[in-house]
C-alpha cells in the first residue's frame, strides 16, 4: 500500500503541516519568532481554528468574540506572502504580509503591516495597519 504524502502547511512554507504550524496549533510548541506566529495565524484562519487565533492575539487588543466568516459568504484562502519581518527592540517585531482570498467568488488581498510583542517567551499579535483590495 502506498503511503499518502504529508499535507503541506497552509502557510506556504513548503514544509508539512505536521512539522510547521501543526505543533503550534496543538500547543506542543511556541512560535520561535513573530513571522512563525504570523504564519501559524494565517494557517489557523485557513483551518478555522478560532480558539488558536484568539489565544495568539494580545489581551490588550483581542476582540471579545471572533467571527471568521460573514453569514452566507465562505472565505477561501489562496495564499500568504511574507514581505518583511523586522525586529522592533528585544520583544517586539513587525511583519508585513499579503494574504490572498476569495469571498463569494470575488478575489481580495489583505496587505497588512502587523505589530507583535513577546511576553513571557510567547509571541502575540497586537494589531496592524492594512489596505485591503478587491
User: With 60 as the cut, is the pLDDT of residue 2 above it?
Assistant: no
Query: What's residue 132's pLDDT?
Result: 64
* Model pTM score: 0.90
To which residue does cell 503541506 refer? 8
Number of CB atoms found within 10 A of residue 8's CB: 13
3 state DSSP class of 72 = coil
Q: Extract long-range pairs of 89-93: CB within 8 Å, 24+ residues apart.
A: 91/117, 91/118, 91/119, 92/116, 92/117, 92/118, 93/33, 93/34, 93/35, 93/118, 93/123
- State how far the alpha carbon of 45 is from the alpha carbons of 4, 17, 20, 92, 113, in Å: 25, 14, 15, 23, 17
Q: Of the ranges 8-12, 66-70, 78-82, 103-107, which one carries the lowest mean pLDDT score?
A: 66-70
The pLDDT confidence band at residue 74, using thresholds 50, 70 and 90, is confident
User: With 80 as the cut, is the pLDDT of residue 71 above it?
Assistant: no
C-alpha span between 117 and 124 (Å, rounded): 5
C-alpha span between 60 and 80 (Å, rounded): 26
The listed range with the strongest mean pLDDT (5-14, 58-67, 87-96) is 87-96
Is the domain 17-130 a CATH 3.10.450.50 member?
Answer: yes
User: Which of 65, 101, 96 lies closest to 53, judged by CA?
Assistant: 65
Q: Of the ranges 20-34, 40-54, 74-88, 120-134, which one carries the lowest mean pLDDT score?
A: 120-134
- pLDDT tens digit sequence for 28-67: 899 999 999 999 999 999 999 999 999 999 999 999 888 7
Query: What's residue 65's pLDDT?
Result: 86
Amino acid at each position: 500500500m502506498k503511503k499518502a504524502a504529508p499535507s503541506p502547511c497552509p502557510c506556504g512554507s513548503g514544509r508539512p503541516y505536521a512539522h510547521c504550524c501543526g505543533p503550534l496549533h496543538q500547543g506542543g510548541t511556541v512560535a520561535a519568532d513573530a513571522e512563525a506566529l504570523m504564519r501559524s495565524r494565517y494557517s489557523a484562519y485557513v483551518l478555522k481554528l478560532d480558539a488558536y487565533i484568539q489565544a495568539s492575539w494580545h489581551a490588550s487588543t483581542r476582540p471579545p468574540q471572533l467571527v471568521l466568516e460573514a453569514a452566507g459568504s465562505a472565505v477561501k484562502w489562496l495564499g500568504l506572502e511574507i514581505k518583511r519581518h523586522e525586529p522592533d527592540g528585544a520583544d517586539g517585531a513587525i511583519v508585513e504580509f499579503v494574504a490572498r482570498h476569495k469571498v463569494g467568488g470575488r478575489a481580495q488581498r489583505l496587505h497588512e503591516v502587523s505589530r507583535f510583542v513577546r511576553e513571557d517567551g510567547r509571541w502575540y499579535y497586537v494589531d496592524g495597519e492594512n489596505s485591503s483590495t478587491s
